[in-house]
């Protein structure tokens, strides 16, 4: 069987390349010819009659399925229009990739999340109303978290400790025309969170991530991980968010609220599972491929 794994060819991140290679190798063990395809190696085109087609920059066999390890949502949607089965779906990737949209989709689902304010749409690259900014800041507490809406690996996340710092950061992001969200700082989770790895409707495993130096616990930011068993409440919350976003596989990040009550941080459609694999001692990539085979056969 032939499948594709599509990844971003312009994002030269060693972790992503290693992850893609590992999936290709696991595919061989399952008699799957999994071809690694850069998003810029296939060109979406519409014919005169409006049918979706592709222009190929290299010779490729038509896939039985496509694992979409990128955030090029329009390309994923185009492939679905052509009838390909895409994992994860373009809709679920879109909803996970934009943090504001993710919180909107998950709202009203009885999912515990930090209090969150979405950045307004602006057109002159400057939100001049200081009253608006002060109201946002005061609504969330003395220290807040600002997250750029499109960010990965714990990057583009800022801990803000006073009103002046808050106004300066928002002004900077506005001038760069960057969407963002503002959240209350869950102080009880400073430097620690849980990554829950899910495939289908099953939790495969979880990793506690901790940092002694940073409010972010991401491994990419220097955090350390160890395997843990989830509480029933943690597992149910992670699965609820995963299902609400319509994901096939995901990495759900949980925070520790007061009395260790779980709070959803975010959900990742393109999860980096390599650190979990090293601790787990098994192949998470193989589990993804086995799941995909079960969906397409």
Domain boundary (143, 162, 185) is at: 185
The answer to whether residues 105 and 140 belong to one domain is: no
Q: What percent of the chain has pLDDT over 70?
A: 94
Residues 38 and 181 reside in one and the same domain: no
Phi, psi of 198 (to 5 degrees): -125, 140
> Tens of pLDDT along 74-87?
999 999 999 999 99
Provide the number of structural domains found in the chain.
Answer: 3
For the cut 80, the answer to whether the pLDDT of residue 120 exceeds it is: no
What average pLDDT does the structure give for the chain? 92
Both 135 and 200 in one domain: the answer is no
> Rounded distance, CA 16 to CA 65, Å?
20
pLDDT score of 23 more than 80: yes
Question: Whole-angstrom Cα distance, residue 211 to residue 199?
Answer: 27
Q: Which percentage of the chain shows pLDDT scores above 90?
A: 75
Distance CA 78, CA 64 (A): 16
Q: Which residue has the tokens 């999994």?
A: 34
Report the C-alpha gap between 249 and 118 in whole angstroms: 26
Q: Please give the average per-residue pLDDT across 20-32, as a whole number.
A: 97
Which residue did the predictor score with more confidence, 116 or 216? Answer: 116
Which secondary-structure segment (H or E) carries 129? none
CATH number at residue 73: 3.40.50.20
- Its pTM stands at 0.91
Burial of 131 (C-beta count, 10 Å sphere; 0-12/13-18/19+): exposed
Task: Indicate if 210 and 106 belong to the same structural domain.
Answer: yes
Read off the pLDDT of each residue in 145-163 and give the average, rounded to a whole number. Answer: 86
Alpha helices of the chain — where are they, by DSSP H?
Answer: 14-29, 73-81, 90-97, 99-106, 130-140, 163-175, 232-244, 274-280, 284-296
Q: Would you place residue 215 in the very low, low, confident or very high pLDDT band (cuts 50, 70, 90)? A: confident
Cβ pair 19, 274 in contact under 8 A: yes
3-class SS at 7? strand
**pLDDT tens column, 238-258:** 999 999 999 999 999 999 999
| pLDDT at residue 126, as a whole number | 58
- The two beta strands, 33-38 and 42-46, are unpaired
9 and 77 together in one domain: yes
Burial class (CB in 10 A: 0-12, 13-18, 19+), 130: exposed
248 with 260, same domain: the answer is yes
* pLDDT band of 100, cuts 50, 70, 90: very high
Q: pLDDT tens for residues 28-74?
A: 999 999 999 999 999 999 998 999 999 999 999 999 999 999 999 99
Count the neighbouring beta carbons within 10 Å of the beta carbon of residue 114: 20
Give the model's pLDDT for residue 175. 82
Q: What is the DSSP code string of 237-259?
A: HHHHHHHHTT-SEEEEEEEE-GG
Q: Residue 123: its pLDDT value, please?
A: 61
Alpha-carbon distance 273 to 205, whole Å? 11
What are the beta bridge partners of residue 70? none
Regarding whether 125 and 10 lie in a shared domain, the answer is no
Last residue of a domain, one of 127, 152, 185: 185
Closest to 251 in 3D by CA, of 185, 205, 186, 183: 205
Judge if 228 and 289 occupy the same domain.
yes
Helix (H) / strand (E) containing 168: helix 163-175
Token pair of 251, please? Answer: 């990495």
Domain range enclosing 44: 2-88
Contact 226, 214 (CB under 8 A): no
Q: Could you give the CA distance from residue 69 to residue 23 in angstroms, rounded to a whole number?
A: 11
pLDDT digits (tens, 9 = 90+) for 158-201: 999 999 999 889 888 888 888 899 999 999 998 899 999 999 99
Same domain, 149 and 214: no
Question: Is the per-residue pLDDT at 266 higher than 70?
Answer: yes
What is the H or E stretch that residue 272 is in? none
Residue at which a domain ends, from 164, 185, 206: 185
Same domain, 269 and 176: no
Identify whether residues 57 and 101 lie together within a single domain.
Answer: no
Question: Residue 130: its pLDDT value, please?
Answer: 74
Can you give the CATH number for the domain in which 210 is found? 3.30.470.20
Helix (H) or strand (E) holding 285: helix 284-296
Confidence bin at 124 (pLDDT 50/70/90): low
Q: Are 200 and 268 found together in one domain?
A: yes
């Amino acid at each position: 069987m032939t499948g594709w794994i599509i990844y971003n060819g312009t994002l030269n991140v060693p972790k992503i390349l290693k992850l893609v290679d590992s999936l290709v190798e696991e595919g061989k063990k399952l008699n799957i010819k999994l071809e690694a395809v850069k998003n810029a190696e296939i060109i979406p085109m519409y014919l005169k009659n409006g049918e979706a087609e592709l222009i190929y920059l290299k010779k490729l066999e038509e896939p039985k399925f496509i694992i979409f390890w990128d955030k090029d949502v329009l390309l994923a949607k185009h492939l679905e229009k052509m009838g390909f089965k895409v994992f994860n779906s373009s809709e679920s990737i879109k909803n996970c990739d934009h943090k504001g949209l993710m919180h909107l989709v998950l709202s009203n689902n009885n999912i515990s999340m930090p209090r969150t304010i979405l950045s307004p749409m602006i057109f002159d690259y400057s939100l001049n109303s200081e009253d608006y900014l002060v109201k946002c800041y005061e609504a969330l507490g003395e220290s807040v978290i600002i997250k750029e809406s499109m960010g990965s690996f714990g990057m583009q996340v800022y801990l803000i400790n006073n009103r002046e710092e808050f106004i300066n950061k928002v002004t900077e992001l506005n001038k760069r025309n960057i969407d963002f969200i503002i959240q209350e700082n869950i102080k009880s989770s400073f430097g620690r969170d849980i990554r829950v790895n899910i495939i289908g409707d099953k939790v495969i495993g979880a990793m506690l991530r901790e940092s002694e130096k940073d409010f972010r616990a991401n491994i990419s930011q220097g955090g350390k991980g160890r395997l843990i068993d989830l509480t029933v409440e943690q597992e149910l919350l992670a699965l609820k968010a995963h299902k609400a976003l319509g994901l096939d596989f995901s990495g759900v990040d949980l925070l520790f609220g007061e009395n260790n009550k779980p709070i959803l941080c975010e959900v990742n459609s393109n999860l980096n599972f390599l650190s979990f694999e090293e601790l787990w001692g098994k192949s998470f990539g193989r589990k993804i491929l086995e799941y995909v085979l079960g969906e397409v056969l």
